[in-house]
Amino acid sequence: MSAEKVPSLLEQLDTLETNLYQQDFLLTWKQSDADLRAVLLAAEALEEMWRANVSARVFQGGLAVSNFRDKSTRTRFSFASAASLLGLSNQDFDESKSQVAHGETVRETANMISFLTEVIGIRDDLFIHEGHRYMAEVAQAVETGYREGVLPQRPAVINLQCDLDHPTQSLTDLLHLKKTFGSLEALRGRKIALSWAYSPSYGKPLSVAQGIITLMTRFGMDVVLAHPEGYDVIPELEQLAGKHAQESGGSFRKVHSMEEAFRDADVVYPKSWAPYQIMERRTALLRGGELKKLEELERECLADNARYKGWECTERLMRITKEGRALYMHPLPADITEVNCDAGEVAKSVFERYRVPTYQEAEHKLYVIAAMILLTRFESPAGVLTRLLDKAEPRRFG
Amino acid sequence: MSAEKVPSLLEQLDTLETNLYQQDFLLTWKQSDADLRAVLLAAEALEEMWRANVSARVFQGGLAVSNFRDKSTRTRFSFASAASLLGLSNQDFDESKSQVAHGETVRETANMISFLTEVIGIRDDLFIHEGHRYMAEVAQAVETGYREGVLPQRPAVINLQCDLDHPTQSLTDLLHLKKTFGSLEALRGRKIALSWAYSPSYGKPLSVAQGIITLMTRFGMDVVLAHPEGYDVIPELEQLAGKHAQESGGSFRKVHSMEEAFRDADVVYPKSWAPYQIMERRTALLRGGELKKLEELERECLADNARYKGWECTERLMRITKEGRALYMHPLPADITEVNCDAGEVAKSVFERYRVPTYQEAEHKLYVIAAMILLTRFESPAGVLTRLLDKAEPRRFG
Amino acid sequence: MSAEKVPSLLEQLDTLETNLYQQDFLLTWKQSDADLRAVLLAAEALEEMWRANVSARVFQGGLAVSNFRDKSTRTRFSFASAASLLGLSNQDFDESKSQVAHGETVRETANMISFLTEVIGIRDDLFIHEGHRYMAEVAQAVETGYREGVLPQRPAVINLQCDLDHPTQSLTDLLHLKKTFGSLEALRGRKIALSWAYSPSYGKPLSVAQGIITLMTRFGMDVVLAHPEGYDVIPELEQLAGKHAQESGGSFRKVHSMEEAFRDADVVYPKSWAPYQIMERRTALLRGGELKKLEELERECLADNARYKGWECTERLMRITKEGRALYMHPLPADITEVNCDAGEVAKSVFERYRVPTYQEAEHKLYVIAAMILLTRFESPAGVLTRLLDKAEPRRFG
């Protein structure tokens, strides 16, 4: 495959006034539209270059540090892949094997792991009000370290999922939508249903839902958030989605019925999460070490949760979407009824019909992360990619 | 050291009609003789090139994923070394840190870790009837993912030891024999004794024994399998060894005496394993979660095992081998009497006499793995190696 | 930034008669002054080259193996960074995932992980009389393996902290002193107070204190070791410090008062450690598996320890140092009063005043490690670095 599509992507990238150089990528709503468009264009260019066997190794060594405070497969491998793609060595920061266990401060640790580091990717999504705070603290620490002359370069902190946002996922989703509908402009006026769905497990982060409603409203989409009573997301982020919709000419509304959300939708995104208020109580109990009350809370939640087994993305519901063939989306892994659980977020036949596009979508994430690294670490990313393309060093020999 | 032997190895490699490109390497008996010879030749070439300081980095990034479901030192380091040798980034897939804990399917996980992946190495040897099945499922998943357009390249799945076979070990052994006796042809008519030996530990995999009897019978060797009554290997694989012997003009027979096996042997391979029937009962108990019965089974086995302390590779036994100086082989680590246990597989003085060749043999494994990657990932491996040799980029600067 | 300082560093490096090629780096007192000076010069050159964006990748693949038997952040990341800087793949040797759990000998394991290995970094500082012994055993094993033809190259073993010494730390400290005071010669006659300080934790290694008193006495410094009665370091190493002082024209003495040590000091180094005799009793109890007695010992020690809360580096004490502005040093992480503990080694305001230089110092460690690799693995390290400089391949593209 040739890299023929790349020059036009880089031309578009070159016209954008971005503000990511020497910055972090923590929350999509802190970034301009140009920043977001640039991430997508750079990701597309890198993906085409890989397929055309053009090496994208902009670094000859240096570290990409990952810090996973929760389990992860695809984000872990996406981050490691992005590092390898660009020529960085991936080094996992495992707090249990570190001096953090000796009471070291975040400020200090962040500097100590960063002397040769270009990027620090963090997942911290278990506790409400904590994940973003931690990432911001790390970002502040390396920014200060760089200004003070401690660090020879300023590593970018990239949010690999926090309590508020999941930007590498939501931008991967946006890229999938762009490719599916042809352009970002083609998303205008399209209805996307971000709906809560039933899962037998408990305590899933809210950040996917929050990331989608705040991002898609910026591109003129008609975003409908659906969930059972009590399964609210963070109120400020609902308000932000409303504001984004007003500015972009899209819309945002909330309903308490999956049917209502799915009706005439172009895109459906059924996904489980834990109620915001529950997450707050849970965080408080965890902080207080009140394990007994925590167990009670979990029992209570699971009982409550079980009342909403009807919130499943079924064939019946898919039929009421636009022309009966809305695009189904999920960040994976989905709870698929009769595949990995008795009753879950989506019916087996629905998932299976959309399995291949959903898997293909997942591929974008590594390029989204690589694009974030490129945009935060290079002043002229389009120029860098152009020179790589001209150099045309094969990624794979032979 | 110069790479002067390499061109002749590559000439031989070039004449072989192999069928490994875009395939996996799971079981030696599923591969043609040409495939096996090609692995040895490519491994030898890569080993010579390392010693001659010629870089073998055919990749500029991309992942080599390892998935160890059992402990490992030399295979873990062999795999990581092969990855580094060829220019891939080694990424361990640790299921406990992944979404597999959330009930993700093998099909999905296999694709999610493979977007930039050239090879997936798997060790899964703890449960009979499970290891190979798992590897085959992963291989099927990435094959389908590649055909469906999910994966941009088709990673090769390499068996780093399953319940049936241990091909990276048995081919390492075969390469050691080839080098020791001068050629594969020189193995014809040589007697190799693959004998069970006593170990104080319990539950060692059967795959080394099974790998040796099925592989060496293909090269005209007289293979004798020796073990106490009840310590059978999988019957179908004994039959396969017999069939191979018939086809190659070698022989295969089974005896219940170490003496009989060792008499006039050119090569002895004393190695402990658990009886097949016990492994089956154990797997069933483990699946059923019957821990008490599992403990009983283990006690019973160890008691039974203790009756065979006489099955040790002693000086006395070595004296009855061909001219009293058969080649001793072991995949390591051996249970050495008075070194790391009170009574084990081999006497200290015997092991010590063969220690250096046994260690040297172990080096081949990393090149065998690298050869498997090269042969499965490149259509013309001889051509690729020839161009590397011509390029002569130093592995080590200076 | 340009690399203009590098040629003069390399000229100096080139004049030194070092004896590190094909050796290990285990204890500073086993190395000549020229060896130590060479480590500093090579470290400085590598640091300047990184800042000038000159790639230092002397290897195209091969392994850097790390073996951490105790927690670590900065040394772990320093080692991984040094590996990435030079082009090696970092591979952690985790004994719990290895065949060491099956009773493999150190000799064998050391060889099995070393076929493509250029360096093995080991931290083993938990048990007195054990860490150095283990490293020496590994070094002996790979030396023998290399001589026997098992290993194609001889990996260097680098001490990342043992029970006796912590050379990557003490040489990092020496480099910091050299940069702070202008030259190694400028250290002559300067007073450094290596003082025990209170920490609420228990059982910290003695090797930092031992490393500093034995190293700084070689450069003509007036070294004062201060600690409460009973908190002795290993007597032989105190004697060695005395001998070094005599040879270099410096001095070494011991006091039991922080005040006395700090008075007129140019440099203060307050750092907690466990008493030598206690560490010996602890090691014996651990070996004997006497957990109850171990708990008693810990209780006893902590009670004893609590009597010395006054041993804190306060503003009052800093005022009695030379002109009231001695350089404060610490290997980090420090126990900082009111930051990460109620009462610790250093007052918050003192630490904060020296935080930036202390963090900057920490950066040197990765280059010290890289320098050790370069000096042990290349016969003409100055020549290698000169050719890298001439080649001027950018570390970072663009």
Taking only the tens place, the pLDDT of each residue in C143-193 is 999 999 999 999 999 999 999 999 999 999 999 999 999 999 999 999 999
Domain definitions of chain A by residue range? 6-163+365-391, 168-346
Element (H, E) at A381: helix A381-391
Cross-sheet strand order for the sheet of B63-68: B89-92, B63-68, B117-123, B156-159
Determine contact, residues A342/A292, Cβ cutoff 8 Å: no
Res. B159 pLDDT band, cuts 50 70 90: very high
Residue A61 forms contact with B (CB below 8 Å): no
CB contact under 8 A, A63 and C84: yes
Higher per-residue confidence, B232 vs A99: B232
DSSP state at residue A378: -
ipTM of the modeled complex: 0.95
pLDDT for B97 equals 66
Q: Record the tokens describing residue A146, joined without a space.
A: 């760089």
pLDDT for B105 equals 86
Architecture of domain C6-163+364-391: 3-Layer(aba) Sandwich (3.40)
How far is CA A90 from its chain centroid? 20
pLDDT for B102 equals 53
Q: Record the tokens describing residue C103, joined without a space.
A: 């009773």
How far is CA A306 from its chain centroid? 28
Mean pLDDT rounded to a whole number for chain A: 94
Tell me the C-alpha distance between B273 and B305, whole Å. 10
CB contact under 8 A, B61 and A332: no
Chain C, 360 to 379: residues with Cβ < 8 Å from chain B are 378
Phi-psi sector, C193: left (phi>0), alpha (psi -120 to 50), beta: beta
Residue B333 forms contact with C (CB below 8 Å): yes
Distances, alpha carbon A125 to alpha carbons A164, A277, A283, B109, C272, in Å: 8, 15, 11, 21, 36
pLDDT for A341 equals 92
Residue A398 forms contact with B (CB below 8 Å): yes
Q: Dihedrals φ, ψ of C233, to 5°?
A: -95, 180
CB-based contacts of C173, cutoff 8 Å, min separation 6: C212, C215, C269, C329, C331, C361
CB contact under 8 A, C332 and A108: yes
> Which chain A residues are closer than 8 Å to B105 by Cβ?
333, 339-340
pLDDT for B355 equals 96
Tell whether pTM > 0.90.
Answer: yes
| Side chain identity, residue C62 | G
pLDDT exceeds 70 at position A103: no
CATH class of the domain whose range is A168-346: alpha beta
pLDDT exceeds 90 at position C240: yes
> Which chain A residues are closer than 8 Å to B380 by Cβ?
398
Res. C73 pLDDT band, cuts 50 70 90: confident
**CB B289: neighbour CB atoms within 10 A?**
8
How far is CA B95 from its chain centroid? 23
Tell me the C-alpha distance between A347 and A333, whole Å. 14
Q: Which of A144-158, B241-255, B282-296 has the lowest mean pLDDT?
A: B282-296
Over residues C286-294, mean pLDDT: 86
Over residues A285-292, mean pLDDT: 86
Tell me the C-alpha distance between B154 and B146, whole Å. 6
Give all chains having 3 or more CB-to-CB distances under 8 Å with chain B: A, C
- For chain C, the three-class secondary structure string (H helix, E strand, C coil) is CCCCCHHHHHHHHHHCCCCCCCCCECCHHHCCHHHHHHHHHHHHHHHHHHHCCECCCCECCCEEEEEECCCCCHHHHHHHHHHHHHCCEEEECCHHHCHHHHCCCHHHHHHHCCCCEEEEEEECCCCCCCHHHHHHHHHHHHHHHHHCCCCCCCCEEEECCCCCCCHHHHHHHHHHHHHHHCCCHHHCCCEEEEECCCCCCCCCCCHHHHHHHHHHHHHCCEEEEECCCCCCCCHHHHHHHHHHHHHHCCEEEEECCHHHHHCCCCEEEECCCCCHHHHHHHHHHHHHCCHHHHHHHHHHHHHHHHCCCCCCECHHHHHCCHHHCCEECCCCCCCEECCCECCCCECHHHHHHHHHHHHHHHHHHHHHHHHHHHHHHCCCHHHHHHHHHHHCCECECC
CB-based contacts of A176, cutoff 8 Å, min separation 6: A329, A357, A360, A361, A364
Nearest neighbour of A73 by CB, restricted to B104, B148, B383? B104
Distances, alpha carbon B376 to alpha carbons A5, B373, C292, in Å: 30, 5, 57
Tell me the C-alpha distance between A69 and A98, whole Å. 14
Q: Which of B67-76, B387-396, C233-242 has the lowest mean pLDDT?
A: B67-76
Q: How far apart are the two ends of chain C, measured CA to CA in Å? A: 15
pLDDT exceeds 60 at position C33: yes
B20-40 per-position pLDDT tens digit: 999 999 999 999 999 999 999
Residue-level length of chain C: 398
Over residues C235-243, mean pLDDT: 98
Residue A391 forms contact with B (CB below 8 Å): no
B216-239 per-position pLDDT tens digit: 999 999 999 999 999 999 999 999
Identify the CATH number of the domain defined by range B6-163+365-391. 3.40.50.1370
The proportion of chain B whose per-residue pLDDT surpasses 70, expressed as a percent, equals 98
Residue B356 forms contact with C (CB below 8 Å): yes
Mean pLDDT rounded to a whole number for chain C: 94
> Which chain B residues are closer than 8 Å to A57 by Cβ?
60-61
Tell me the C-alpha distance between A103 and A305, whole Å. 38
Res. C70 pLDDT band, cuts 50 70 90: confident
- Residue C2 CB burial class (10 angstroms; 0-12, 13-18, ≥19): exposed
pLDDT exceeds 60 at position A102: no
CB contact under 8 A, B71 and C113: no
pLDDT exceeds 60 at position B391: yes
Residue B61 forms contact with C (CB below 8 Å): no
C63-68 and C117-123 strand pairing: parallel
Tell me the C-alpha distance between B43 and B22, whole Å. 18
C91-113 per-position pLDDT tens digit: 999 887 655 545 578 999 999 99
pLDDT exceeds 90 at position C233: yes
Higher per-residue confidence, C1 vs A116: A116
B127-143 per-position pLDDT tens digit: 888 999 999 999 999 99
Cross-sheet strand order for the sheet of A191-196: A251-255, A222-226, A191-196, A267-271, A327-328
pLDDT for C128 equals 85
Determine contact, residues B335/B200, Cβ cutoff 8 Å: yes
Provide DSSP, A170-193.
HHHHHHHHHHHHSSSGGGTT-EEE
C253-265 per-position pLDDT tens digit: 999 999 999 999 9
- Residue B249 CB burial class (10 angstroms; 0-12, 13-18, ≥19): exposed
Cross-sheet strand order for the sheet of C327-328: C251-255, C222-226, C191-195, C267-270, C327-328
Residue C50 forms contact with A (CB below 8 Å): yes
Cross-sheet strand order for the sheet of C63-68: C89-92, C63-68, C117-123, C156-159
Q: Record the tokens describing residue B362, joined without a space.
A: 């172990």
- Fold of domain C169-346: Rossmann fold (3.40.50)
Of the candidates B381, B295, B292, which has an alpha carbon nearest to the alpha carbon of residue B11?
B381
A304-313 per-position pLDDT tens digit: 899 999 999 9
The proportion of chain B whose per-residue pLDDT surpasses 90, expressed as a percent, equals 84
Q: Which CATH number fits domain B170-346: 3.40.50.150, 3.20.20.20, 1.10.10.60, 3.40.50.1370?
A: 3.40.50.1370
pLDDT exceeds 80 at position A45: yes
Of the candidates A274, A125, A266, A88, which has an alpha carbon nearest to the alpha carbon of residue A199?
A274
pLDDT exceeds 80 at position C202: no
Q: B336 has which bridge partners?
A: B346
A230-258 per-position pLDDT tens digit: 999 999 999 999 999 999 999 999 999 99
pLDDT exceeds 90 at position C298: no
Mean pLDDT rounded to a whole number for chain B: 94
C370-385 per-position pLDDT tens digit: 999 999 999 999 999 9
Res. B47 pLDDT band, cuts 50 70 90: very high
Q: Hey, do C6-163+364-391 and C169-346 end up sharing a CATH topology, with the first three levels equal?
A: yes
Res. C322 pLDDT band, cuts 50 70 90: very high
Nearest neighbour of C74 by CB, restricted to A103, A112, A116? A112
To the nearest whole Å, the CA of B390 is away from the closest chain C CA by 17
pLDDT exceeds 80 at position C86: yes
